Amino acid sequence: MRNTIFLSIFSFASIFSIKIAAQNSVVLKTHFDLKIAPKVPDYTQNDAWAALPTKSDAADRTPQKSNLSDNQSDAKADVFFLHPTTFTYEPKNQYEWNADVNDAALNEKTDNSTILNQATAFNGSGKIYAPRYRQAHYYSFLTPNAADKKQALDLAYSDIKAAFEYYLNNWNQGRPIIIASHSQGTVHAKRLLKEFFDGKPLQKQLVEAYLIGIATQPDTFENIKPSNAADQIGGFVSWNTYARGFTPEYYVNGLSTAVCTNPLTWKGDEEFAPKELNKGGVGLKYTFVKQAADAQVHQGMLWINKPYVRGRFFLNTKVWHVADINLFWMNIRENVALRLETYLKQ
């Protein structure tokens, strides 16, 4: 019995825990060099997309034991989803600072993690468009060399921009748009919103932006404001998840003043939301988990008690970054539907 509990906890932690030590052990010893960059993606080709509504992919799935369906074929909105960093390991070729979108192993890792566990939260209400892009290596966020970081992230964003422009010109046709992102994806999503939506005609098509996993300030945009109710539209929500009582070392670097939305209440106040408000998350083997977590906003952070899974007593995770979406998967799904319903009634 005890072995079963530990196996359950090990499996849960392997899905939801960020492996800081493993990632921090990778140090890129070169400097960014644009001449040594992967080939530019061709977004006219389906293979350049991790998810498209016209092809079978991981974004089409719904969790085991959930009785839910993929509704993309009838969806009245589009979701432009930007995945987080999956290029975290020691580079295996000459491309060190930015990943090659034709790297089959990396694409499989991306599809079986973030596309499966995160992008699917949005397939109840939107057609999902998720571009592959030359994502910056995880070390780009750790390097003391500001020029290397900027150039790696700029290259990644150039792909996001090209993919979005192709999407607009070929597929959108004036439909409502939901922007959804996590971690590095949110870094690029903020830039995309500033360039294409903020104070621009396209802002009228914005249902909501889900800018998750990166500290986002309330004044990030001039015209797109933080949302503070479940049915508000045209704004953005954001949160970063940590264990109750834990404050990360980088707390002063923008997190303390960041927008923090409680995904169980969709408010920014510090009222505690019990697990009974959690409609369900996803865990091991993409299985639906009822009442996965509680949540409370605390000074720019989203604090949770240990997730409510078998053997939770043994969980000691402090940084729940990887689970920012997993833990609140069903609440996000239902909220997207509500905001879209509100938008369509305008």
What was the pLDDT predicted at 251?
74
Residue 17 has pLDDT above 90, yes or no: no
CATH of the domain at 189: 3.40.50
Residue 7 has pLDDT above 50, yes or no: no
- If pLDDT is split at 50, 70 and 90, which confidence band does 139 have? very high
What was the pLDDT predicted at 18?
40
**Count: domains in the chain:** 1
Assess if residue 103 is contained within a domain: yes
Give per-residue pLDDT as tens, 278-288: 999 999 899 99
Average pLDDT value for residue range 56-73: 97
Give me 150's structure tokens: 């900027």
Q: DSSP letters of 261-308?
A: -BTTTTB-S---B-GGG---EE-GGGBEETT---BEEETTEEEEPSPS
What was the pLDDT predicted at 25?
76
Average pLDDT value for residue range 315-332: 96
DSSP alpha helix (H) spans, the chain:
2-16, 20-24, 104-110, 116-117, 146-167, 184-196, 329-344
The pTM score is 0.94
Tell me if 87 sits within 8 A of 156, measured CB to CB: no
In whole angstroms, give the CA distance from residue 335 to residue 249.
Answer: 32
Nearest of 285, 256, 5, 282 to residue 293 by alpha carbon: 282
Assess if residue 1 is contained within a domain: no
DSSP 184: H
What was the pLDDT predicted at 24?
54
Residue 207 has pLDDT above 60, yes or no: yes
Residue 184 has pLDDT above 90, yes or no: yes
Buried b (16+ CB within 10 A) or exposed e, 284-317: bebebbebbbbbbbbebbbbbbbbbbebeeebeb
Q: Which residue has the tokens 């992919």?
A: 57
Give per-residue pLDDT as tens, 73-87: 999 999 999 999 999
Assess if residue 98 is contained within a domain: yes
Residue 63 has pLDDT above 90, yes or no: yes
Assess if residue 306 is contained within a domain: no
Give per-residue pLDDT as tens, 81-119: 999 999 999 999 999 999 999 999 999 999 999 999 999
Give me 304's structure tokens: 């949770």
Higher pLDDT, 163 or 311: 163
- If pLDDT is split at 50, 70 and 90, which confidence band does 313 have? confident
Burial of 193 (0-12, 13-18, 19+ CB in 10 A): buried
Average pLDDT score, the chain: 93
Burial of 246 (0-12, 13-18, 19+ CB in 10 A): middle
What was the pLDDT predicted at 252?
64
**Domain membership of residue 335 as a residue range:** 22-239+322-344
What was the pLDDT predicted at 6?
34
88, 100, 134, 184 from 41: Cα distances, Å: 20, 9, 8, 18
Give me 20's structure tokens: 């800081």
Give me 285's structure tokens: 């083997």
* Percent residues over pLDDT 90 in the chain: 89
Assess if residue 152 is contained within a domain: yes
Residue 48 has pLDDT above 90, yes or no: yes
- If pLDDT is split at 50, 70 and 90, which confidence band does 326 have? very high
Radius of gyration of the chain (CA): 19
Amino acid at 194: K
Assess if residue 209 is contained within a domain: yes
In whole angstroms, give the CA distance from residue 46 to residue 183.
Answer: 24
In whole angstroms, give the CA distance from residue 254 to residue 218.
Answer: 11
Assess if residue 247 is contained within a domain: no
Give per-residue pLDDT as tens, 20-34: 444 457 999 999 999
- If pLDDT is split at 50, 70 and 90, which confidence band does 70 have? very high
What was the pLDDT predicted at 284?
87
Assess if residue 203 is contained within a domain: yes
Q: Which residue has the tokens 């790297």?
A: 103
What was the pLDDT predicted at 22?
43
Give per-residue pLDDT as tens, 222-279: 999 999 999 999 999 999 999 999 999 877 679 999 999 999 999 999 999 999 999 9
DSSP alpha helix (H) spans, 17-92:
20-24
Burial of 250 (0-12, 13-18, 19+ CB in 10 A): exposed
